[in-house]
Amino acid sequence: MPRFPLEAAGFATRQLRYRGDAKLELLEPLGPDTFAGHFVRRYGASIHHLTIKVPAILPAVDTVRAAGYDVVDVFAEGDVWHEAFLRPSQVGGMIVQLAWAGRSDEEWAELTGARPEAPAGDAAILHGPTLSNPDLAGARTLWSLLGAEVDDHGGALRAWWPGSPLDVRIEPGERAGSVGLRFDGTPPLEAEAEFGPATLPPAA
């Protein structure tokens, strides 16, 4: 799949689709002073954000703010893409992007000239991120507000959305932050500051 430079936004992007329909977007900074450049310099190659699509951005922002959370960088203009962000300090070490898309994946592909590739039958399955958080009660409240079903899962929490491949695991820990991405069908790998986050087995 081609790499798409978005000069105005300061990054290039490529999306990977896994078996089970989950998608992973890779961001490449187009300069050291872009938001992606600042992030990589500070944290290394790691999980930047998780996107939750909503039917309409402004009502979603109002709901989250009414619950006492800070929502920043709200963009709700035009008919293509609206977005807003929750800070990592509120989420537990990772940004959450709320987004509304005015085009389907197929329409985006046609617009950019991409040819989406279907994953192979034996391709890996991406389940979602594992996070560490010292405040599991607060995490349960937040992820429930964001529309997830939240279950106790082996001493941790599992946040999932019916009909969605996304599955977030939140483990107790002294510090909040991302631990890695959980896969079926890939070997576990340590995090590399230059290349990316750890890959973990499904139950990790």
Same domain, 97 and 138: no
Same domain, 34 and 105: yes
Q: For residue 6, what pLDDT is reported?
A: 62
Q: For residue 54, what is the domain's CATH number? A: 3.10.180.10
Average confidence score pLDDT of the chain: 91
Same domain, 130 and 101: no
What pLDDT digit, counting tens, does each position of 82-92 carry?
A: 999 999 999 98
- Do the domain assignments include residue 117? no
Please say if the pLDDT value at position 1 is more than 50.
no
What pLDDT digit, counting tens, does each position of 117-172 carry?
A: 889 999 999 999 999 999 999 999 999 999 999 999 889 999 999 999 999 999 99
Total domains present in the chain: 2
Same domain, 19 and 88: yes
Tokens of 51: 């996107």
Q: Which residue has the higher pLDDT, 2 or 96?
A: 96
Q: For residue 182, what is the domain's CATH number? A: 2.60.40.4320
The H or E element containing residue 41 is helix 35-43
What pLDDT digit, counting tens, does each position of 178-200 carry?
A: 999 999 999 999 999 889 999 99
Same domain, 57 and 148: no
DSSP output for 91-133: HTSSEEEEEEESS-HHHHHHHHT--PPPPPTT--EEEEEEEEE
pTM over 0.85: yes
* Residue 180 belongs to domain spanning: 125-200
Among the three residues 87, 112, 137, which one is the final residue of a domain in this structure? 112
- Do the domain assignments include residue 162? yes
